[in-house]
């Protein structure tokens, strides 16, 4: 089994992430940088995709050449901030199927409640990449993975931009079989569940809301 947590600390990622963390970086630049980092994360998360050989004719010769094997993979965005990572992933894997999971937190029970769930058919046969920029408490991420497993998904990775140690621990307890790939393991959560040093509210920064 691959290691549970992979931190992709490529110099380009670190540089772009520093600009994203800066509170003075505007939404348009933030979105663009997230897109660029998601290309670099996509490279890492797809590193072990299975390959099959296919016969093709180049203008010079007939060869056996590699192509991706199996069903098209599924990208699942955890709404709404997941869409910021999704766009860049689709640049690199344009034929991927796409799903969405929408959750909100019930203020009485504090439990995540599903308000939207739609995933590609035959999800059990696909490599599923669940995307959400911020792995904070891990409660909604773990709930989203529960729902994907209930729908039949078996081969899942969780891709995020920033992770808090608390969220990584929660995911490891709930879903030890789901590797996490992130651009940074930050220091901690604050008392209201924000990642420190973090970058603030990812959804607000992507979409320019407050």
- List residues binding ligand URA (CB under 6 A): 81, 134, 136, 194-195, 198, 201-203
As a whole number of angstroms, the distance between CA 210 and CA 109 comes to 25
Active site residue 58: no
Strand partners, 189: 195
Active site residue 22: no
Task: Tell me if 205 sits within 8 A of 30, measured CB to CB.
Answer: yes
Looking at beta carbons only, is 123 or 195 nearer to ligand URA? 195
Looking at beta carbons only, is 73 or 141 nearer to ligand URA? 141
Residue 46, Cβ density class (10 Å: 0-12 exposed, 13-18 middle, ≥19 buried):
middle
To ligand URA, the closest distance from the beta carbon of 198 in angstroms equals 4
Residue 161, Cβ density class (10 Å: 0-12 exposed, 13-18 middle, ≥19 buried):
buried
Q: Indicate the SS3 state at residue 12.
A: helix
Task: Tell me if 196 sits within 8 A of 187, measured CB to CB.
Answer: yes
To ligand URA, the closest distance from the beta carbon of 83 in angstroms equals 13
Looking at beta carbons only, is 146 or 201 nearer to ligand URA? 201
Looking at beta carbons only, is 74 or 140 nearer to ligand URA? 140
Token output for 142: 């773990």
As a whole number of angstroms, the distance between CA 79 and CA 77 comes to 6
To ligand URA, the closest distance from the beta carbon of 60 in angstroms equals 51
Looking at beta carbons only, is 34 or 81 nearer to ligand URA? 81
Active site residue 204: yes
Active site residue 109: yes
Structural element, H or E, at residue 208: none
For tokens 């901030």, name the residue.
Answer: 81
Q: Indicate the SS3 state at residue 61.
A: coil
To ligand URA, the closest distance from the beta carbon of 162 in angstroms equals 7
Candidates 21, 25, 105, 146; catalytic one: 105
Q: Tell me the catalytic residues.
A: 105, 109, 201, 204
């Amino acid at each position: 089994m691959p290691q549970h947590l992979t931190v992709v600390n490529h110099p380009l990622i670190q540089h772009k992430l520093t600009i994203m963390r800066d509170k003075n970086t505007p939404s348009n630049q933030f979105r663009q940088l997230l897109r660029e980092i998601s290309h670099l994360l996509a490279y890492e998360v797809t590193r072990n995709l299975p390959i099959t050989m296919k016969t093709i004719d180049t203008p010079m010769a007939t060869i056996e050449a590699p192509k991706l094997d199996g069903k098209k993979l599924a990208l699942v965005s955890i709404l709404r901030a997941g869409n910021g990572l999704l766009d860049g992933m689709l640049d690199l894997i344009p034929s991927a199927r796409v799903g969405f999971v929408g959750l909100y937190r019930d203020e009485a029970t504090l439990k995540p409640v599903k308000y939207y769930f739609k995933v590609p058919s035959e999800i059990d046969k696909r490599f599923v990449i669940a995307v959400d920029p911020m792995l904070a408490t891990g409660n909604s991420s773990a709930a989203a993975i529960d729902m994907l497993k209930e729908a039949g998904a078996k081969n899942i990775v969780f891709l995020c931009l920033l992770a808090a140690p608390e969220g990584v621990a929660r995911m490891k307890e709930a879903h030890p079989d789901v590797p996490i790939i992130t651009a940074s393991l930050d220091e901690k959560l604050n008392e209201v569940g924000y990642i420190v040093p973090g970058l603030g509210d990812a959804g607000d920064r992507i979409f320019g809301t407050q």
